[in-house]
Chain A
Amino acid sequence: MPRTFTPKVVTANALLEGDAVWLTEDNTWTRDMAKAELLTDEAHADLRLLEASARQDEIAGPYLADAKPTENGPAPTHFREDFRTRGPSNYPHGKQAEV
């Protein structure tokens, strides 16, 4: 049986601000993970990561992060990725301050 593929999103840090961004279906970078493209096929995910990696003048350090589908869009499964959608827990800084 083929192993099941955990859905992914392409994420990176924005080049100028350094904050977390996610790749959308229409090839833009969003600061809202729920708007990201959820990748459910491994080969397609690898391809999207390759494409993202070519966009060196927009982002740094792209990688595939585990995600799960929700009503609102893709959501993190690991606490590290969850923190990246919000910001630090000791101050209301980062993304949690922007919403």
Chain B
Amino acid sequence: MYSYNDFDAAFVAERNKQFRAQVQRRIDGSLTEDEFKPLRLMNGLYLQLHAYMLRVAIPYGTLNAAQMDQLAFIADKFDKGYGHFTTRQNIQYNWPKLTEVPDILDALAEVEMHALQTSGNTIRNVTADHFAGAAADEIADPRPIAELLRQWSTDHPEFQFLPRKFKIAVTGSPNDRAVTRAHDIGLRMVRNDAGENGFEVIVGGGLGRTPMVGKVIRDFLPVADLLAYVEAIVSVYNLLGRRDNKYKARIKITVHENGLETIRDMVESRFEQIKPGFTGFDQDLLAQIEHAFAPPAFKTAGTEGYEAARLANPAFRSWTDTNLTAHKNDDYAIVSVSIKKHGNTPGDATSDQMRALAQIARDYGHDELRISHEQNVILPHVHKSDLPAIYAALRAADLATANIGLVSDIIACPGMDYCALATARSIPVAQQIATRFDELKVEHDVGPLKIKISGCINACGHHHVGHIGILGLDRAGVENYQITLGGDGTEDTHIGERAGPGFAYDEIVPAIERLVLGYLDLRTDPEETFIQTFRRLGAEPFKAILYPEKEAQNAA
């Protein structure tokens, strides 16, 4: 894992010192809220419905046990004993006091963490495949590139006042688990005919008010050109991006309004212009960073115990069936720890659970943890012989839910339970759907299905790319939920289509139940997943299930 050098440590310490003084000036009244707001946002501090909220970056979703322990310590000392993992691989604390935020930032710095650029119109925390460095299907670990981008973008003088926020995601696998096509820039590692690694560069994707699938601006970019090329894209955007209208300010609109060809020409010419300035220092730096991400020393041991435990314990077997992913080392597995226990808040972990995860990572996981954009925690490197012990430890921490990728593994943004921008709640809807399907005992039969819920049009809950998306709105002063169908966040990114009129708060869970159970009658066989059935049949039969009255009228 990357470790701060002296420069990083001094930089973060200096920023924390500055922010402490800014907070002091806000409290004594010498700064107004209007003056203070951009300063606090630069340091990840929001003011929400019931309290301040601090968004802490977990760069490319990677952290070690000591860092997880510190997150638990902060949750206990400064918050209400829990944290919320988000769809951008961050952790949010929902209840910090303004006076204590500088101390929290110092506590984070002790373990080489920060909240820089988790907000504001800058380049945000770079996200990456949460299986990076472990996945069997991976070409190369994308995290060194993500770390290089983090260092380059942090406090980059040219990019502190972009027209709008700017999000970059990177994946090293052909199977896209980082939703790269829904980012301002998506980087997907590919290998060319000569066997060299490079990136497919995708630009102008994004969800929110105007969802758009990113477009390929370069099929193959050599790794050595990456930084200069990304810088060229951001500087073209910085110039062209609309500052007159907040809703048209993201690069997806810039690309849409100017056309991909124009943007590509401008980026290429800017790239040629700045490329000579990248004289190789970035590649030296990248080589150092790569060194820090060397794979752990995998152990050699038999896996018979694992097979025997699978045979002996059906609950363990069920968990291994849903929560494991193939590791590049055959004797290893990637464990997805579900932070989606039925009825709980998606992505919320208590401090005890964080400490348990840290201990498991220390004991069995080469000291590594990941946060996924699906709001779960990953143990990327686990020897199969350790799985029974890990399962037992997870059970003891109430973290052994076997539901990864199933109906109850729901992404939900904080919604109107916390977020000041929300138009409706999302958490209770997720809780109720998960509880209901647990009662019905059908989710394993239903199989892979992604439900994603956002509490407003900003789409932090990625509802557009959910197989079933739910968007909470305020319709004439009451909560109303719109369903979208057929979205997909993988390499075949697809924006879901609106099913029809929205549902009231007490109608949405029954509507989802109808929809999912209805799918069971539509599929050809248990192997055909929800999204495959949707692709085969289109939206109509699903709409008929959702709106039976309308269907009856049509038939009459």
Question: Contact residues of A with B, CB < 8 Å?
Answer: 13, 15-20, 56-57, 60-61, 77-80, 83-84, 87-91, 93-95
Question: Which of the segments B7-15, B47-55, B308-316 contacts the partner chain?
Answer: B47-55
Q: Which residue of A lies closest to B346 (CB)?
A: A90
Chain B contact patch, size range: 20 to 34
Would you give 5 A-B contacts (Cβ < 8 Å), ordered by A?
A15-B26, A16-B99, A56-B33, A80-B416, A90-B431
Please tell me if the beta carbons of A79 and B479 are within 8 angstroms of each other in the complex.
yes
- Chain A CB count within 10 A is highest, among B29, B49, B52, B425, for B49
Q: Say whether A18 contacts B50, CB under 8 Å.
A: yes
Residues of B within 8 A of A60 (CB): 33, 47
Q: Could you say which of B28, B32, B425 contacts A89, with CB atoms under 8 Å apart?
A: B425
Docked CA distance A60–B420 (Å): 13
| Cβ contact within 8 Å between B27 and A89 | no
Residue of A nearest to B422 (CB): A80
Question: In the assembly, what is the distance between CA of A89 and CA of B424, in Å?
Answer: 12
B200 at the interface (CB under 8 A from A): no
Interface centre among B26, B51, B431, B478 (most CB of A within 10 A): B51
Check A90/B99 contact, CB under 8 A, given A18-B47, A56-B29, A79-B478: no
A90 to B80, CA, bound (A): 13
A20 and B32 contact, CB distance less than 8 A? no
- Assembled-state Cα–Cα distance A18/B79 (Å): 13
CB-CB contacts of B149-177 with A at 8 A, as 1s and 0s?
00000000000000000000000000000
With a CB–CB cut-off of 8 A, which chain A residues contact B345?
Answer: 90-91
| Closest beta carbon of chain B to A84's beta carbon, Å | 6
Of A17, A57, A88, which is within 8 A of B29 by CB?
A57
Flag if A93 contacts B49 (CB, 8 Å). no
A57 vs B28: C-alpha distance when bound (angstroms) = 6
Looking across the interface, which residue of chain A has its beta carbon closest to that of B505?
Answer: A79
Other A-B pairs beyond A18-B47, A18-B50, A79-B478, 15, CB < 8 Å? A13-B47, A16-B99, A17-B51, A17-B98, A18-B98, A57-B27, A61-B33, A77-B477, A83-B416, A88-B94, A89-B425, A89-B428, A90-B431, A91-B345, A94-B50
How many angstroms between the C-alpha atoms of A56 and B31 in the bound complex? 8
What B residues does A91 contact at CB under 8 A?
Answer: 80, 345
User: Are the CB atoms of A16 and B416 closer together than 8 Å?
Assistant: no
- With most chain A CB atoms within 10 A of its CB, the pick from B27, B50, B422, B427 is B50
* Given A78-B477, A89-B417, A90-B345, A18-B425 contact (CB < 8 Å): no
B27-A84 in contact (CB<8A)? no
* Cβ–Cβ < 8 Å partners of B50 in chain A: 18-20, 84, 87-88, 93-95
* Interface residue B550 (Cβ < 8 Å from any Cβ of A): no
User: Closest chain B residue to A60 by CB distance?
Assistant: B33
| In the bound complex, CA of A61 to CA of B52 (Å) | 12
Asked if A84 meets B49 with Cβ closer than 8 Å, knowing A79-B477, A89-B428, A90-B431, the reply is yes
Q: Are A15 and B98 in contact (CB under 8 A)?
A: yes
Q: Is the CB of A16 within 8 A of B431?
A: no
Kindly supply a per-residue 1/0 record for chain B positions 407-445, scoring 1 wherever the CB is within 8 Å of any chain A CB and 0 otherwise.
000000000111000100101100100000000000000
| Inter-chain contacts of B477 with A (CB < 8 A) | 77-79
Bitwise interface map of B from 49 to 82 toward A, beta carbon under 8 Å scored 1, else 0: 1111000000000000000000000000000100
Residues of chain A lying within 8 A (CB to CB) of residue B474: 79-80
In the complex, chain B residues whose CB is within 8 Å of the CB of A79: 416, 474, 477-479
Bound-state Cα–Cα, A87 to B418, Å: 8
Q: A56-B32, A93-B80 are in contact. Are A18 and B428 (CB under 8 A)?
A: no
> How far, in whole Å, are A80 and B417 apart by their CA atoms in the complex?
9
Given contacts A18-B51, A20-B49, contact A90 B427 (CB under 8 A): yes
B422 cross-chain contacts in A, Cβ below 8 A:
80
- Chain A positions within 8 Å of B199 at CB level: none
Q: Give the 9 A-B CB pairs with smallest separation, nearest first.
A: A57-B29, A88-B417, A18-B52, A18-B51, A60-B33, A94-B50, A90-B345, A90-B427, A56-B32
Chain A minimum-CB-distance residue to B80: A93
